[in-house]
Amino acid sequence: MKSTNRTPVIAANWKMHKTIEEAVCFVKGLIPLILNVPVKVYVAPPYTALHSSAVAARNSPVVIGGQNMNDENEGAFTGEISANMLKDAGAEFVILGHSERRHLFNETNDFIRRKVKKALSKKLQPLLCIGETKQEREEEKTEQILKQQLEESLGDISPEEMETIILAYEPVWAIGTGSPALPKEVQVIHHFCRQLVRQKWGADTAEKVIIQYGGSVHPQDVKELMELPDVDGVLVGGASLTLDLFNQIIHYSR
């Protein structure tokens, strides 16, 4: 049984799913199910449903956030969204550096670093994703890649800022495959990441920072993952689209 003062965060990333009506219905159905859970519950709906979801979640334990944002306050960036816009819509956190943004949209660590700084300056909590590809894993470069992502995405972050950031280890090779990383592999990587935080930002910060696991998370896997010493929550994709499945993940300790 692990002992930690870190409150776990279970987050839903809906990606390009759900209309406004569907999102609001989900949030309203979720609220009564999580009134007394010992975890924090985050939900990242699509931009079109962000404001309506935030209104539906008002005065409840559900925390609403964005799936991505630009590093500029405003400008000629067709299709982009700013931190100010997210805040105005009711977002309290924002997912940054997701592998789909890195690999499908060619986002660099430096771009992600600027977005993290912008989010912090606007009082949006960054949820920073890191993870290696299948090829990088097969070439035994996992630790090298994660170290580079952390150092370059968080290069000028203070210890106080680092304590507010959520890290999410999402092995790219596991996302959407239905096959999550093995718990023993997850613990090794999470411990490695916490040691990196310790080396750069100190022991106190390392003990406070939340590190989630993401990548084909399903109800049957969560309890074993959450019992690992360095796992402080999960970032859920497909299984978060169904209220019953997401509720089972939130109530993993039953």
Report how far residue 220's alpha carbon sits from residue 212's, in angstroms, rounded to the nearest whole number: 17
- Catalytic residue flag (residue 170): yes
**What does each C-alpha distance from 123 to 90, 182, 214 come to in angstroms?**
12, 35, 24
Catalytic residue selected from 100, 132, 170, 190: 170
Which of 98, 100, 132, 190 is the catalytic position? Answer: 98
Q: Which residues of 42-57 are buried (b: 16+ CB within 10 A; e: fewer)?
A: bbbbbbebbbbbbebb
- Answer whether 165's CB lies under 8 Å from 125's CB: yes
Question: How far, rounded to the nearest angstrom, does the alpha carbon of residue 207 sit from its chain's CA centroid?
Answer: 18
Check: CB of residue 248 under 8 Å from CB of residue 219: yes
The residues that are catalytic are 98, 170
